[in-house]
Amino acid sequence: MRQTASQSKILVFLPQAAAAMVVGKLAECGYASLAVSTVPQAFDALRSEEFAFAVTTRPEIDLVRNIRAIPVVNLEVFFHGSTSGNGASKRFDGRAFLERVKFLANPAPARPDPAIGRGASAQIADPRKPRWWSIAANALRLSRHRKGLMDVQS
């Protein structure tokens, strides 16, 4: 499910310090978000229809999706291991995170109606003909303009 006009906020379900940092970074980029750090807060927030998606860590993804089926960004996938002189550390890829947020925050373009594509033009031209007639006429290669002729072509 993608963002609709009524869904505009991002739910950030993380511990307080981490949530405040993520919400601050999202606000700098122009995104409205709400930080919650407890399950009751998340439950109350997700009961509304105002959130386009949520940002959380792997253990809480199922919890969020069990409350409401919305897209969830796993914050952990944006941490990459790097080796430095002091040993192994993790580096956060903020650019990739913001790209994912931008992708989920933008509404999906309207998809064309699949009925207005292959083979549907004959049905649109004469909506009174049942679909089975169009399939049978095509299989028997009968002309659409026969207008009730009863003879059989050989």
The 10s digit of each residue's pLDDT in 84-117 is: 666 667 888 889 999 999 999 887 666 666 655 5
Indicate where the chain has its CATH 3.40.50.2300 domain(s). 9-105
Could you tell me the strand order of the sheet in which 9-13 lies? Answer: 33-36, 9-13, 51-56, 72-74
The answer to whether the pTM exceeds 0.75 is: no
At residue 90, the pLDDT reads 82
Beta bridge pairs of residue 83: 88
Regions of the chain with pLDDT less than 70: 1-7, 83-88, 108-130, 133, 137, 142-154
**9-105 belongs to which CATH class?**
alpha beta
Rounded Cα distance, 46 and 71, in Å = 12
Q: How many CB atoms lie within 10 A of CB 46?
A: 22
Rounded Cα distance, 115 and 123, in Å = 9
At residue 85, the pLDDT reads 61
User: For residue 60, what are its two tokens?
Assistant: 């809480």
